[in-house]
Chain A
């Protein structure tokens, strides 16, 4: 095998890959923040005693978790223009799809986190005159979030890897950047190799970070 990486100069990297890399990071970040926010709402709905809140949330989460992500990406991209009459653009479509999809996974994590908080904490919040919203926002969610931070971040690492699935709708992400460069210089093996190394380095260092964090943030009980 004859590998030659010489063509991958900083200029080539910045003109082909940088834009895609920025989009992959942006997609990960937005889908994480949006997904955790929406996921927390879904978790609270599922834990509600009111079935008109719990059932739709459960249906949403179970549906999302039962469909392959790449199909959701594809269908959302294809369906939205049919409904609204105009295309959304691959990048925008990807951001919305990932947020909606990841929310299902984050919601399961948040649900476990909320359930890990002793019921007495809720009672204490109420007994001090707090409303449901205050009890959740000030007492339960901060603790649940803290307990679950390592798991939330681990899910985010998976999310980062999954962003490469936007190839299905042709969005310009990190992988796409390397793919285009590989085609232009006729060196696809080299570019895919470097792409793999970059995904590995980022994901692996993030999971090391999670491990460090895990030891530091435990609440003293």
Chain B
């Protein structure tokens, strides 16, 4: 059973179709990168995985549980599907430590000490132990995103979703975030990553999914994708993104 399975997912905003018949899957321990031009539906697709975006047709299963089924306990499912956002979305009114423990306590029901210990351990891991008592606004973008990754990891996720995690960062901060993600990938975390960072894709992705106009145009093993993408659209995209 794949960790994430999408079958013929379609979604419309009114008359406009944002996702058309999208099918793919992510096996346990697999890292897939989703790329494509802006407006191609990448972010919408990844938000369908944990039900942040509803879809009208098709099926999404995470660890065998159907996301679109109204009977599914979505909060319970999401508690174990980590998500990292483009704009970090740390809670600005809470300290870094509070950001790390709040969902552990309120959602998972962990004790305060246990949650704090787990949170600080992960903060250590992303190299930000010294910032524990600061507030998100006092950290740089790269630091905030690393905290956001730690916050997701604190929930002991079965897989991680990254929605353009480095797009809002200044160039010199991109690598500190990518380093954490590479490490995660190498440890065997199941990851679905929407990104334009082709260096990251080359390094750790198993497969690359290319989207255009709401469709999955390519779904290849990494080497095949970078070697010779079949569709002309993907070739154009790659040549633009790799040669500048």
Contact = CB atoms under 8 A, between A and B. Distances in A.
Given A124-B90, A127-B152, 18 more contacts: A120-B87, A123-B52, A124-B83, A126-B74, A127-B78, A127-B83, A128-B102, A128-B151, A129-B78, A129-B107, A131-B75, A139-B91, A143-B92, A220-B92, A220-B135, A220-B136, A220-B137, A221-B92
Interface in A115-132: 118, 120-121, 123-124, 126-131
B103 A129 contact: yes
A219 B89 contact: no
A128 B107 contact: yes
Contacts, number: 73
A219 B155 CA distance: 26
Given A219-B137, A220-B138, A123 B75 contact: no
A128 B92 contact: no
A-B pairs with the 3 shortest C-beta distances? A129-B79, A220-B137, A124-B89
Interface in B143-165: 151-152, 155
Contacts of B102: 128, 138
Query: How would you classify the secondary structure of chain A's contact residues: helix, strand, loop or mixed?
Result: helix
Given A142-B93, A146-B93, A219-B93, A126 B52 contact: yes
Interface residues of A, number: 20
A26 interface: no
A139 B47 CA distance: 20
B198 to A, nearest CB: 26
A118 B93 CA distance: 13
A138 to B, nearest CB: 6
A130 B75 CA distance: 6
B233 interface: no
Interface string A94-134: 00000000000000000000000010110110111111001
A121 B136 CA distance: 13
Interface in B77-122: 77-83, 85, 87, 89-93, 102-103, 106-108
A128 B79 CA distance: 5
